[in-house]
Amino acid sequence: MRLTLTAVLPAVLAALPAQQQPIGSTFRTANSVNSRGGVFSSQVTLIARFDRADYVGWGKANGLPGVRQITGVTFQSTDNDGSSAESWSVVIFTEDLANRGYPLVTAPVATFGPFTNAVRPAGAAGFTHTITFAPVSVPDGADVFVGVQLATVSGWPTNGHAVNCLLGNPTRWPTYDQPGAAPIEHMGYGLAWDGVSPPVYNTPRQLLIDILHDAPGAAATAITNQTSLAISNTAPGTGSFLSGLHPDATNPPFNPGRADDVSFVYLDTQMPNGTPVFFLADFGNFGAELPFAGFVPGSIGALCLNPVTASTMGFQVLAGGQTSMGITIPAAIRPTLSGLALVRQAVALTPTLTLRGSPCGRQVF
């Protein structure tokens, strides 16, 4: 296993082994606040949910049936006093099939750590933590959960380590991302577990935790006019699990004044500039996950749209490890969009004429 502690994401990406890349869950997000989920002094595990209804096709580099493979975790955090190093661990869970949308905390799939933050000067210190490890398999028919276990602290909030998160509604913190009208299961994507009581969802939020796998990443994004999330104002928008997956694109909008457009981003630092990337789209639900290697030997990833009904929207070329294709939504069709689900995927054609498929993302209006 490998541990990397860095302050900025580009350095993390440069440090990752060949092929190993984030799946894209925190693409162009922002931090609202560092959180311990309301558990201020005791040990607590902050758990991010990766919902199978939102993304599939990730963790399929080897095409193994029935499972996804996780090869690392990266997350953003803040130590409120960098001069007193804090410890943390990473825990991977599968879904409790008797309690959908919740992790099976009684049977963790894997635990890594504890690790300790690097010592910094007194005052708040931000970190991006990355650990890599041999592939960990999780079932592909259920949600996946990744937890960051934070050690007991004294002196919160002037001291203590917490995971950064993007909030989904207005609070006393100025940065937040308000999704559209489409329902979000359990209202958000972040849970807190004190190790004694059942884990609970906090206010609508996304913890800034991402999964690494041996394949390209992707992000379904929304271009919004939110002053509370400035990074979403320019293309390709934000890939947050809030507006990114639940754009406010209907008329009338859910949030007054919104008229989001959407995009889909292909992320791949392993391919050269100029690599052609084809963008596919469909409506409704995902298709079966079919390894691309079954179509073209040596390929990476899985086709996860319905091959009968999916359409090719066109292609773009890779530049600096990413490319995207947006959709400007005509005003005339916005009143018809409520409840519509758009599913998308991107596939690169490599210089050796093999395929590299991204995860598939599903946006609901």
Nearest C-alpha neighbor of 264 from the set 292, 299, 237: 237
3 state SS of 221? strand
Token pair belonging to 298? 């040596």
Taking alpha carbons only, the member of 227, 228, 215, 231 closest to residue 303 is 215
Please report, for residues 223, 263, 331, 343, the alpha-carbon distance to residue 335 in angstroms, rounded to integers and kept in the order given.
Answer: 18, 19, 8, 19
- The 10s digit of each residue's pLDDT in 240-259 is 999 999 999 999 999 999 99
Kindly indicate the confidence band of residue 343, based on its pLDDT and cuts at 50, 70 and 90: very high
Q: What is the DSSP letter of 15?
A: H
What is the rounded distance in angstroms from the CA atom of residue 141 to the CA atom of residue 32?
32
- Cβ atoms within 10 Å of 203's Cβ, excluding its own: 16
Q: Please compute the mean of the pLDDT values over residues 139-145 and round it to a whole number.
A: 97
The structure's pTM equals 0.94
* Residue 41 pLDDT: 86
Rounded mean pLDDT of 140-148? Answer: 98
Residue with tokens 């940065």: 175
Q: Which of 100, 199, 206, 91 is nearest to 138 (CA)?
A: 91
Q: Is the pLDDT of residue 7 over 50?
A: no
pLDDT in tens, 296-339: 999 999 999 999 999 999 999 999 999 999 999 999 999 999 99
Q: What is the pLDDT of residues 88-129, one digit of tens each?
A: 999 999 999 999 999 999 999 999 999 999 999 999 999 999
b/e burial code for range 276-286 (CB count within 10 A of at least 16 → b): ebbbbbbeeeb
Is the predicted pLDDT of residue 6 greater than 60, yes or no? no
**pLDDT tens, residue by residue, 267-301:** 999 999 999 999 999 999 999 999 999 999 999 99
Residue 141: count of CB within 10 angstroms of its CB: 14
Rounded to the nearest 5 degrees, what angle is found at the Cα of 219, between the Cα atoms of 213 and 351?
A: 65
**pLDDT, tens digit (0-9, with 9 covering 90-100), for 177-228:** 999 999 999 999 999 999 999 999 989 999 999 999 999 999 999 999 999 9
pLDDT on residue 124: 92
CB-CB contact of 107 with 96 (8 Å): no
pLDDT in tens, 349-361: 999 999 999 999 9
Band of the pLDDT at 12, cuts 50, 70, 90? very low
Residue 103: which residues within 8 A CB-CB, separation 6 or more? 47, 49, 93, 94, 95, 96, 145, 147, 191, 193, 199
- Specify the pLDDT at position 316: 98
- Quickly state the pLDDT bin for 62 (edges 50, 70, 90): confident
Q: Which residue has the tokens 């799939």?
A: 109
The Cα 238–Cα 26 span in angstroms is: 9
Any idea which of 38-42, 67-71, 352-356 has the lowest mean pLDDT?
A: 38-42
